Amino acid sequence: MGTLQPPPPHRRRTPAEAWAEVVAGNARFQRGESAHPHQSVQSRERVAEGQHPFAALFGCADSRVAAEIVVDQGLGDVFVVRTAGHVVDPSVLGSLEFGVEVLDIPLIVVLAHTSCGAISATLKAVESGDIPGGFLRDLVERVSPSILTAHRAGLTSADEIGREHLRHTTALIAERSARIAQGIADGSLAIVGAQYELTTGATHLVTVLGDIGPT
């Protein structure tokens, strides 16, 4: 194997530049023209020296929404945190704060998706009053406030409720984390809430906290 070339110098992107990369990558994936960047042996060896991801993706753990794939990124490009129904807990907030504080990430993308099983299961539990046991109960309890808010607004479909839950999650991250709220306030960080369509592969902007430029 030949000598590896030194990695390009790291330049911190603005929140708007980071979002533009996410949008461009998703567009490639949607068209079936994914570039599969930074997935070579050389890339693997290079990022072993350190990581400089340009965005954090916090999304649902659903197997159909593999974060790096749907935004066409590779090793070292995005810092990924996933939970069922993208519910927020202390470990999620700690992980995102690590991305912002230690890795100097300028953008957090909260990635919801259509036909979310966690939303549907919680909707069923709320309507029937049959709350599951074990740690599934914790999941339902964390999604339930979004469903109640959606119902008060007259929203009934699972995807509409999913978008309301996405807005709630995005706001909750900034509300619970002083460090993230500070980054939004000083313009060094933005949070984007986007919903991914399982059938088309398209990702649609739903809510923004901070400045990502024209949308």
According to the 3-state scheme, what is the secondary structure of 134-196? CCHHHHHHHHHHHHHHHHHCCCCCHHHHHHHHHHHHHHHHHHHCHHHHHHHHHCCCEEEEEEE
* CB neighbour list of residue 62: distance below 8 Å, 6 or more residues apart: 84, 113, 116, 117
pLDDT at 9: 54
Interacting residues of 150 by C-beta distance below 8 A, sequence separation 6+:
160, 161, 164, 165
Query: What average pLDDT does the chain have?
Result: 93
- Kindly state the helix (H) or strand (E) to which residue 56 belongs, with its residue range: strand 55-60
CB atoms near residue 31 (< 10 Å): 9
Average pLDDT over residues 157-178: 96
- The length of the chain in residues reads 215
- pLDDT score at 12: 87
Q: pLDDT tens digits for 16-35?
A: 999 999 999 999 999 999 99
Is there a contact between 205 and 110 (Cβ–Cβ < 8 Å)? no
- Tell me, what's the pLDDT at 3? 42
Looking up tokens 């807990």 gives 89
> Is pLDDT of 1 > 80?
no
Q: Regarding predicted confidence, which is higher, 1 or 211?
A: 211
Phi and psi at residue 59, to the nearest 5°? -140, 180
- Which of 57, 66, 133, 67 has its CA nearest to residue 92? 57
pLDDT in tens, 67-91: 999 999 999 999 999 999 999 999 9
What are 42-58's pLDDT values in tens digits?
Answer: 999 999 999 999 999 99
Task: State how far the alpha carbon of 202 is from the alpha carbons of 79, 86, 112, 196, 198, in Å.
Answer: 20, 18, 12, 6, 8
State residue 215's pLDDT score. 78
Query: Both tokens of residue 156?
Result: 């009934």
> In the chain, what are the domains?
15-32+51-209 (3.40.1050.10)
String of DSSP letters for 83-143: EGGG---HHHHHHHHHHHHTS---EEEEEEESS-HHHHHHHHHHHH-----TTHHHHHHHH
Residue 6 pLDDT level (bands cut at 50, 70, 90): very low
Instruction: Map residue 50 onto helix, strand or coil.
Output: coil
